Amino acid sequence: MTSPSMMKYRTETTHCPECLGDGTLTYERPEPWVSRDTPPSLEEYTRECWACHGSGETKVDEIDF
Ligand SMILES: [Zn+2]
């Protein structure tokens, strides 16, 4: 029988894997298609990282059995 208290919890703060510690993510979106003959170019825009909410770090909970 295994008791939960036998498990070892470890919390580490690491660079966010999504933004690599930047806290922001760069996305691309097509510009409005103004001409039928010319495909829209991509416009870059930056948003706060959804994974770390701009902190650039994430806490990783590891459970060692
Ligand atoms: Zn992030």
The ranges assigned to domains in the chain are 9-31+40-64
Residue 65 alpha carbon to ligand 1 centre in Å: 28
Q: How far is the CA of 58 from the centre of ligand 1 (A)?
A: 7
Confidence of residue 44 (pLDDT cuts 50, 70, 90): very high
Cα-to-centroid distance, 15 and ligand 1 (Å): 8
As a whole number, mean pLDDT of residues 35-53 equals 90
Query: What's the length of the chain?
Result: 65
Residue among 23, 62, 27, 55 nearest 43 (CA): 27
**Interval between CA 25 and ligand 1 midpoint (Å):** 7
pLDDT of 45 reads 93
Could you report how far apart the first and last alpha carbons of the chain are, in Å? 13
| DSSP line for 40-63 | PPEEEEEEE-TTTTTSSEEEEEEE
- pLDDT value of position 28: 92
pLDDT tens, position by position, 23-42: 999 999 988 888 888 888 89
